[in-house]
Amino acid sequence: MINTLYIENAVLDHPRVVEMARRFPSAARVSCERYTAVFNPKGQNFRLQKQNPSLILARKFKNFVLATPQGYGIGGLNNYYFSHMLNCIYDCRYCFLQGMYRSAHYVVFVNYEDFLGALDEKLALHPQEKVWFFSGYDCDSLALEPVTGFASLLLQFLESRPQAMMELRTKSTQIQPLLGRESLPNVVAAFSFTPNEIASRFEHKVPSVAKRVGAMAKLAAGGWRLGLRFDPLIYEEDFESNYQKLFRQIFKKVDSSAVHSVTIGPFRMPRGYFRNVVRLYPEDGLLAGAFQNRGGMVSYNADQEAAMLDFCTRQLGEYVAPEIIFSCFPQSRQNLVGGSSDVGYVSSGSVNDE
């Protein structure tokens, strides 16, 4: 439940703001000049705010769509990312957002048309070529869809732009915008998973693995292309058996022919972000794992990381073609069967006056 709405003065009368505000008739409304005055101040407690986040409605002015680091992607040559929202409604203990942002409040940029215009600008740079766009790094692509309506508008946009390839990454079961229309061949609905044993302890507020698998099965039946994202891999004593069970659970319900791509990657987080998360949750068992600082990135030791990746690659190879399995590394992403080397996405971390 949203108890407080912060609204920038410039968008107070925006139709989208008016519609969203109607959904929270009991929420206090506070106007502000810029969302950064609420989102950026020091001294905020992310952990405390996460218990009852506010919703901030704002306008973004620049940097709508950014190029990923060179080579990043899942098989495409031209790759970009964007975020119409900052922060996620879920509370996963391994998420880098809690170490990156000072505030747990949700920010929604309501000028969607400017995002779509920026997508068109990128498409114009690559005429007659496929262009990949990745959504869902600074937020969940679908979790707040009943409030924002962004994905519905995006799908309409993509109908007439077959060269625009879109990944919608989510842990949500809010798939109504996709089920309510014909599937699009240029959209991949990518679902993130950890095993039940880990999800139940560290993925707070997230729909169960079974519910997410059920959502994927419905999308597959409707002709949608799916992505599987096992990122981060979390090591525990029963790592191999837990991940084997997870893979079986998914492919028991989801036909492998519907899977467009699979990515796997071990837990890793920039050292500064990791320190911030430990300060927030000093008692959390996950954060007390046997991690190493490797080049400014906190992760497992190299041997353990390689063993985790190798095991999951072999297991997943029993269900899908190996050429669609990609491995995410702290600073790189490589196709496991010798494809092109890809540089991994790393968020900028700071929130400037957009």
Give the model confidence (pLDDT) of 199-238 as tens digits.
999 999 999 999 999 999 999 999 999 999 999 999 999 9
- DSSP sequence for 276-332: HHHHH-TT-SGGGSS-EEETTEEE--HHHHHHHHHHHHHHHTTTS-GGGEEEE-SS-
Q: What is the pLDDT of residues 143-174, one digit of tens each?
A: 999 999 999 999 999 999 999 999 999 999 99
pLDDT at 287: 86
Residue type for position 87: N
pLDDT the model gives residue 343: 28
Arithmetic mean of pLDDT over the chain: 91
Q: Mean per-residue pLDDT for 251-279? A: 95
Q: Please state the pTM of the whole predicted model.
A: 0.91
Task: Give the start-to-end residue ranges of the domains of the chain.
Answer: 60-342
Q: pLDDT tens across 86-125, in order?
A: 999 999 999 999 999 999 999 999 999 999 999 999 999 9
Residue 70: pLDDT band (50, 70, 90) is: low
Which residue shows structure tokens 């170490």? 99
As assigned by CATH, the class of the 60-342 domain is alpha beta
- Distance between CA atoms of residues 334 and 314, nearest Å: 16
pLDDT confidence tier of residue 351, bands split at 50, 70 and 90? low
